[in-house]
Structure 1
Amino acid sequence: MELDFAASAPLRLVFSTGLAAPPAAVYRSLAVELASTPAWFGAVTSATPTDGGAGRTVRLRGGVEFRETILATDPAARYAYRVDETNVPGLSALLEEWALSPTADGTRVRWTMAVDGNGPCRLAMRLARPGVGKSFRDAMRNLERRLTPARRPSPGSAR
């Protein structure tokens, strides 16, 4: 499975939002500072680099585990990986792509989950779409707070 699976998968879950943080900072959180992922993405309990940075191991709440191979690392545009091993029954292919586009006030983030699996697996993923979307929105709000801390007024300044 290669990057083109993101566009050709039998099931695609796509979510996007804007963040008031530059693409480089968003990319760093997604691809470089893996250990911090659970701090902003509530579904993730751990994310660890493997194979000298060419892969990752990710664990989710509920006991789901993924061993992944990184397919694209472009700090200005995207980060993508495929799942090579998982304990999700019926899942035969999963690729995730995080596309980053600069905007006037930050970054547009588009997350694509490209999925294939047996019928029950695909049905479960379709039914999970609203929950996965909420998880994405919550994660992006948390990431934005992490990357753009509120500015405090300086002493003596007007509020």
Structure 2
Amino acid sequence: MKQKAWQNDRVYRAIVDDLLAHQEVQELVNYPQHHHSDRLTHSIDVSYLSYRVGLRLGLNATALARAGILHDLFYYDWRETKFELGTHAFIHPRVSLRNAEKLTPLSNMEKDIILKHMWGSTWAMPHYWESFVLNIVDDWTAVSDFLNPVTDRLMTLSTLRWVRRRS
């Protein structure tokens, strides 16, 4: 199986490996996320892409990487579980923040990133550029996760057509 870029990025790994070592984080693999992904894979994808964007923009890439791992740290299927106090989009950032605070100390920026990562679906306005970045990357990753089977199929079909034309 081919390794993903984040697995070979030693600087990124030094930032997040302590979080990934927690059983509570590893358990996210057991929860579906956006139809074609699990929550752990989604969280790592959001974390690494946010980290890379943060580096390019001169932002706090460490906070982005760590908050990205923790931003969806909840243990229920959001399609099935309903809340009296609001929608999943409203509730889960608070649940994730509470769970993250049990695992590791968080900076004010990391707390804001986790709590505000659903801005647009919620009214809580981000206080940092990093919170906006993770919000956008999370949305992008969710759409990509959902569309992966379609894009994979299209790429396979176009590759087959190209091969047939060359034969």
Task: Please classify the TM superposition score into its range, dividing by the shorter chain length.
Answer: 0.3 to 0.5
TM-score (norm 2): 0.34
The structure where helix makes up a greater share of residues is 2
TM-score (norm 1): 0.35
